[in-house]
Structures are given as C-alpha cells and as structure tokens.
Amino acid sequence: MKDLAFEIIGKILIIREVVDKKTLKEFAKEKMNKHSYINTVVVQTSKIQGQERRRNLKHLMGENTFATIYKEHGNSFYVDLEKAFFSPRLSYERQRIVNLVKKNEKILNFFAGVGPFGISIASKHSDCEVHSIEINEFAYQYLCKNIELNKCQDRVFPHLGDAFEIVPKKFSNQVDRILLPLPMEADKALPLAIDSLKQGKGFIHWQLTEKIHSEDTIKDIVESRLDRISLEKISRKASINSIRIIRWLAPRIAHIAIDLHFL
Ligand SMILES: C[S@@+](CC[C@H](N)C(=O)[O-])C[C@H]1O[C@@H](n2cnc3c(N)ncnc32)[C@H](O)[C@@H]1O
C-alpha cells in the first residue's frame, strides 16, 4: 500500500498527492476504515496559493462537501477547506500565544481567516477585546459564524476588508498586542502593526518564512530581516522575546514565529 501525504481536518481527509485513481481510492478506504469519523475524502489539486491562501480540492469519496467543523482545545471552528485557509498545524502556535496574553488586552488579529487565533484567545481571556480582520468574504462569513459558535460576540469583533486600509484608519495608536499570521506580507505589515501599538508599546507576534543556511543562526537571520525593514527609520527598537520554527515548508525553508516586544 503506497503511503501518500495527507491531513485530516474535522471529518475530511485531504490527500495531498495526485496519483492514479485506484491508489487514491485504496488509500482513502484504508483511512476511512481506520478512522470511522472521516465522512469525506478529497484530493488537493493545487498548492495553497494567492492572497487568500486557498487551495483547489476534488471530491473523491463519501459525502460531497468541503465544509466541516474542526475542534481544538475546547473551541470549534466551521470551515470550508476550499473557500478559506485553515491549518491544524498551527494549533500549538495558537495555544502558545493564548498563554502569553495578559489581563484586559486590546488585540489586533491581522489576516484572521476563519478566526482561530483571535477566538482561541478570547475563549480563555474573557476580559480581552480582539479585532479580527479578513479580506476573503467566505472566510469572513465563517469568522462571524465561529465567533457566535464559540460565544465570543462580546469580545471578538470581525472586520471585512484589507488590513492595510482598515488598520491605519481605525487602529492607529490603540492596541496592546498584534498577530501577523501571514508570512508573505510580514515585511509590509510590521511597520503598520507598530504604528497601531498604544504609545508604541506592546507585543507583536510576527510570522516569517526564511531560507536557513547552516552557517547562520536563526537569531542572526531574524535580526538582519529586522534591519532590512529599517525599524530605525520609524524610530522603534524591538527586543526579541522568542523565536521558534513552526514547521519546515521545504528542506531549509522554515516557517518561523517571532515574538517582538516594543518597550
Ligand atoms: C495564512 S492565512 C491565516 C488565517 C488564520 N490566521 C489562520 O491561522 O487560520 C492568511 C489570511 O489572511 C487573509 N488576507 C490576506 N491578505 C489580507 C489583507 N490584506 N487584509 C486582510 N486579510 C488578508 C487571507 O484571505 C487568509 O485568510
């Protein structure tokens, strides 16, 4: 039996390799027998791509749907796996940030998707206020549903649109903590995020992708990236509280989470 790359999200098994139909079906049947909760099998036919970080899927077996509910640390999230981004592999990163949040924080969740970061925080911190911004209308609809599903309507506020337009208009000099979970916009979003920190002080959770050469330490790489953005120009200096590799996207290409503290 050929081993294929796959992930399971809610009740949906996504096979992430396109091979002949017989192999796909054998693999799908074996997984459905092993995990009785799987009710749909789909094949991923494109990379996760574009500004909205979406992928193309093709139905293979079981119920013909790309929508499911995913459960994580006591929260539930509706998602359509073709219409919006979602990744269970960020689960640890979400909980790590949940545990860093302090009392009464005002938090800005750029690039919110269907809402997992902001909602996870709000579920554990009833005194916080989270603003979640998302450009993809489908993801935004799921974000709104998920806020209700997790009973956070009094503290998670959804905003539909481009974070680069909404943030300077509504959040300049306002918030205590910012989440930037979109590596491809990391350099562009950081100066804007800094501008929304209350009196320039607070925490930014910055995500990057970087090629790691064995001779450099990750800290060197992150520091030179910060130099390139020229924080001096906007007269801000950050201390790096933590750096962790979320996962390897390819050999040597790391998806990195950096906690920046502006004092
Ligand atoms: C990598 S996904 C992360 C989603 C979510 N934070 C999560 O972890 O599931 C990035 C999200 O940012 C959204 N996005 C991309 N550019 C944006 C922009 N300029 N303003 C607001 N949202 C944007 C995409 O539609 C996508 O849902």
* Averaged pLDDT in 10-residue chunks for the chain of 263 residues: 90 95 96 96 97 98 98 98 97 98 98 98 98 98 98 98 98 98 96 94 96 82 85 73 94 94 93
Q: Which atom of ligand 1 is nearest to the CA of 87?
A: 9
Torsion, Cα of 156, 162, 164, 165 (10° steps): -90
pLDDT digits (tens, 9 = 90+) for 178-215: 999 999 999 999 999 999 999 999 999 999 999 988 77
Residue ranges lining ligand 1, Cβ < 6 Å: 51-53, 85-87, 90, 111-113, 116-117, 133-136, 139, 162-164, 181-182
Q: Which pLDDT does position 213 carry in this prediction?
A: 80
The rounded Å distance from CA 31 to ligand 1 centre is 31
Output the residue whose Cα is nearest ligand 1's atom 6.
112
Are residues 257 and 154 both part of a single domain? yes
Same domain, 138 and 231: yes
CATH of the domain at 32: 3.30.300.110
73 falls within a domain:
no
Query: Is the same domain home to 144 and 221?
Result: yes
pLDDT of residue 233: 57
Q: Are residues 124 and 179 in the same domain?
A: yes
CA of 157 to the centre of ligand 1 (A): 16
> Do 38 and 153 belong to one domain?
no
- Look at residue 41 and tell me if it is in a domain: yes
CATH code where residue 231 lies: 3.40.50.150
- 148 and 208 housed in the same domain: yes
Same domain, 216 and 144: yes
In this structure, is residue 76 part of a structural domain? no
* Burial (0-12, 13-18, 19+ Cβ within 10 Å), 215: exposed
Residue 58 lies in a domain: yes
Would 77 be classed as within a structural domain?
no
Cα-to-centroid distance, 215 and ligand 1 (Å): 33
Which pTM was predicted? 0.95
What are the C-alpha distances in Å from 171 to residues 15, 43, 107, 174, 198?
41, 40, 10, 5, 9
Q: Are residues 40 and 113 in the same domain?
A: no
Based on the domain organization, do 101 and 213 belong to the same domain?
yes
Examine the domain organization and report whether 215 and 109 are in the same domain: yes
What pLDDT was estimated at residue 1?
67
Nearest Cα residue to atom 5 of ligand 1: 113
Q: Does 70 fall in a domain?
A: no
Residue 40: give the domain boundaries.
Answer: 6-65
CA-139 nearest atom, ligand 1: 27
Look at residue 235 in the predicted model and tell me its pLDDT: 63
What is the 135 CA–ligand 1 centroid distance (Å)? 7
Q: Number of structural domains, the chain? A: 2
Is 106 a domain residue? yes
CA of 47 to the centre of ligand 1 (A): 16
Count CB neighbours of 254 within 10 A: 19
**59 with 93, same domain?**
no
Residues 163 and 236 in one domain: yes
